[in-house]
Chain A
Amino acid sequence: NAGVTQTPKFQVLKTGQSMTLQCAQDMNHNSMYWYRQDPGMGLRLIYYSASEGTTDKGEVPNGYNVSRLNKREFSLRLESAAPSQTSVYFCASSGASQATDTQYFGPGTRLTVL
């Protein structure tokens, strides 16, 4: 099992460009999450999907959209990238419909917006 995989690993964008970060899990988990990690601020929840077919906003959703493509895949889209979106992005998944289950994280995508 690969666990949680993310692509790409690194990305540089210019202000105003768009891109989609991809995430997939092979653990048959119901719930998936997108976080961003900034120095000194820990992990902040952008969006989550409690189960296939549902998505909800987290703490910092502005400037992002998500798609739960199927049970395995959860993508994060930046429609018009801004320098404030420079960050490391982590996808995670958990087994049941409760967030209190262990979250398994992917290796991250390091995004720089110039």
Chain B
Amino acid sequence: GENVEQHPSTLSVQEGDSAVIKCTYSDSASNYFPWYKQELGKGPQLIIDIRSNVGEKKDQRIAVTLNKTAKHFSLHITETQPEDSAVYFCAAGRTGGFKTIFGAGTRLFVKA
């Protein structure tokens, strides 16, 4: 079946450093790639998404890049802060479809 691989599973950075999380997807028809942040005891919340017609998207300290040829997409967080500590999920889906596939998650620790 279709799958999304996410790396690393755990990431620890010093406050102010950058963090990068990488995902690979298998369904070449995927054209929508959201990223979710999940804080302890809460449901996932969308932080940024990218569609296949663009290669990069930025929102303040967060950026996503997409390489459709290689079926890779990445989340970049700059100037990390302790409140960025959470679990991050990448996902891949199709326009008109309902079966978004999620990666296994990355637990990010930002040390003050």
Contacts and interface: CB of A to CB of B under 8 A. Distances in A.
Contacts, number: 68
A99 B103 contact: no
Interface string A24-57: 0000000101000000111111001010000010
Interface residues of B, number: 29
A100 B45 contact: no
Interface in B95-111: 95-100, 102-105
B21 to A, nearest CB: 13
A44 B1 CA distance: 13
A113 B112 CA distance: 38
Most buried by B among A42, A58, A59, A90: A42
B46 interface: yes
Contact of B95 (A4, A31, A45, A100): A100
Interface of A: 4, 31, 33, 40-45, 48, 50, 56, 58-59, 90, 92, 98-100, 102-108
Given A42-B105, A59-B1, 20 more contacts: A31-B98, A40-B104, A40-B105, A41-B104, A42-B89, A43-B44, A43-B89, A56-B98, A98-B96, A98-B97, A99-B93, A99-B96, A99-B100, A100-B93, A102-B46, A102-B49, A106-B43, A107-B41, A107-B43, A108-B42
B72 interface: no
B34 A102 contact: yes
A105 B99 contact: no
B41 to A, nearest CB: 8
